[in-house]
Amino acid sequence: MTERFPLAVLASGRGSNLQALIDAQRAGTLPIDIVLVAGDKQQALALRRAEEAGIPTLALDPKTYPDRAAFDTDLFTRVAAYRPRLIVLAGFMRILNAAVLAPWAGRIINIHPSLLPKYRGLHTHRRALEAGDAVHGSSVHYVTAELDGGPMIAQVQMPILPGDTDETLAERLLPHEHRLLVAVLAHIAAARIALHGTDVSLDGRVLSSPLRLREDGVLAA
Ligand code: GAR
């Protein structure tokens, strides 16, 4: 059997992106091993999904730490003990400090529900509607201390339709997000995507713009 790529997932909420990874792992279409699912909310559905799948979980309560830095340090120390090669932020709704991120440069990614650099932060669907955008989407990027600002890996796009609300947009985007995250992880596990400084490469060639997930599931430059 080929070796599976060990990764940890951090999640704060519903965990549908985590579920997409679990499903792909189970189906044998993604050669990953989710070694830990950790979060900042004991009640998060993401943690229940992990338990159901037999994946170790960890929930830390930020309120029990003296400050943000202490929480971040403890979280990342514990995550590192599971020896993941990559950390995936899948709906992890906290900003992390530069010191804990530094040792993970190039080994931590985030999925965000907008076509970055548009709409960093919250309420991305509503903001896309209010701006009158014709197209919406989701981005996967390497994480730096700058909120939703690290080097871009890949995006998926979809049209905004007449009558769309922020709920319908979020709902329609979600399956695209799942496909995007799975596709990016397949490439990272195969060592096809990497970060060099601030440059992202595919098969050794530096990208001048984010990869685009096509309808057929191919990540195209
Ligand atoms: C996803 O839409 C993801 O892009 C977003 O949270 C949702 C998590 O859904 N992430 C962010 O907004 C991070 N800035 P899930 O819990 O069902 O995977």
**Contact 14 CB / ligand 1 (< 6 Å):** yes
Confidence check: pLDDT of 63 > 70: yes
Q: What is the pLDDT of residue 2?
A: 63
Q: Is the pTM of this model over 0.95?
A: yes
**Count of Cβ atoms closer than 10 Å to residue 54 Cβ:** 8
**CA atoms in the 13 A half-sphere facing the CB of 19:** 13
Mean pLDDT, the chain, whole residue set: 97
Which H or E run includes 6?
strand 5-10
**Could you tell me the distance, in angstroms and rounded to a whole number, from the CA of residue 149 to the centre of ligand 1?**
16
Confidence check: pLDDT of 59 > 60: yes
**Could you tell me the distance, in angstroms and rounded to a whole number, from the CA of residue 91 to the centre of ligand 1?**
4
CB-CB contact of 194 with 203 (8 Å) = no
Question: Which tokens go with 146?
Answer: 């700058």
Confidence check: pLDDT of 166 > 80: yes
> Which domains does the chain carry?
5-220 (3.40.50.170)
Q: Which mutation among 9, 10, 16 tests ligand 1's pocket best, with the greatest number of atoms within 8 A of CB?
A: 16
- What tens digit of pLDDT does each residue of 176-208 get? 999 999 999 999 999 999 999 999 999 999 999
**Contact 137 CB / ligand 1 (< 6 Å):** no
Q: What is the pLDDT of residue 3?
A: 83
